[in-house]
A = this chain, B = another copy of it.
Amino acid sequence: MHTQTAVRTDQFHRFVPVPRNPSPPTTHALDGASEREPLAQSMHLMGAVMSYPRNAEIFGDNEPAEYLYKVIGGAVRTYKILSDGRRQIGGFYLPGDIFGFQFAEEHTFSAEAITDAKVLVIKRSALTALAGCDAAVARQLFALTSCELRRMQDRVLLLIKSAQQRVASFLLEMADRAAAGNVVELPMSRQDIADYLGLTIETVSRTLRCLESSAAIEVPSSRRIVLRNRSALNRLNS
């Protein structure tokens, strides 16, 4: 009937489940004065740090959403496999980011470690109970959800733009979140980026090359990108 490629065999391994909960939980002490907000404090008190190797599943689609997660180190992706075999990435989460809270009773996405990752895991029920008592915590949970909603709205706006605009927006977003100066270290593969932006891996690759030849960026190695001309990227982004 209609196109939209199924999973290529040479990339199918990406969708094979990986054994989870690979390392035992570690109780986590509150680390001094670094955390001021009530929510962050409570999470660190109540949570346990888990380690996940690259590509390990953190939680699966359709599982009960019993926990919230906060990235301590490494990077995480949430994703969904569509019935036609394609994968849509819900979001990338870097140290400090919280994920898993945006979902209802059951997760609508799965989550995997992009790189080896340390994740703080908190029982959702404990946190909502706390929110019942502490209005500040409740407000912060609400703010978190609103923030995620805003990011989703931005995704919608992103997905109606051209490939160049999507890639440029992505680079600027990553630069804001994970850059040292103008150098962006991407933890994710081209396939991850493509599935995030709703493009193919080839289009992402070609677009990066195109941005490079227009002197907006440099790509010294495939996972490292240097922003040479942010305003040009912003202009594309429009």
Q: Are the C-beta atoms of B108 and A160 separated by less than 8 Å?
A: no
Number of copies: 2
* Distance between Cα atoms of A198 and B135 in the complex (Å): 40
Query: Using Cβ atoms and an 8 Å threshold, which residues of chain B touch A191?
Result: none
Q: Are the C-beta atoms of A2 and B157 separated by less than 8 Å?
A: no
* Distance between Cα atoms of A86 and B3 in the complex (Å): 27
* Contacts of A59-116 to chain B: CB distance below 8 A: 80, 82-84, 86, 88, 90, 102, 104, 108-109
A177 lies within 8 A of chain B by Cβ: no
Query: Of the 9-residue stretches A44-52, A138-146, A180-188, which lies at the interface with chain B?
Result: A138-146
Indicate with 1 or 0, residue by residue over A35-57, a CB within 8 angstroms of chain B CB atoms.
00000000000000000000000
Closest Cβ–Cβ distance, residue A164 to chain B (whole Å): 6
A149 lies within 8 A of chain B by Cβ: yes
Closest Cβ–Cβ distance, residue A68 to chain B (whole Å): 13
Across the interface, name the chain B residue whose C-beta is closest to A3.
B162
Q: Are the C-beta atoms of A80 and B157 separated by less than 8 Å?
A: yes
A1 lies within 8 A of chain B by Cβ: yes
* Among B135, B152, B162, contact of A153 (Cβ-Cβ < 8 Å): B152
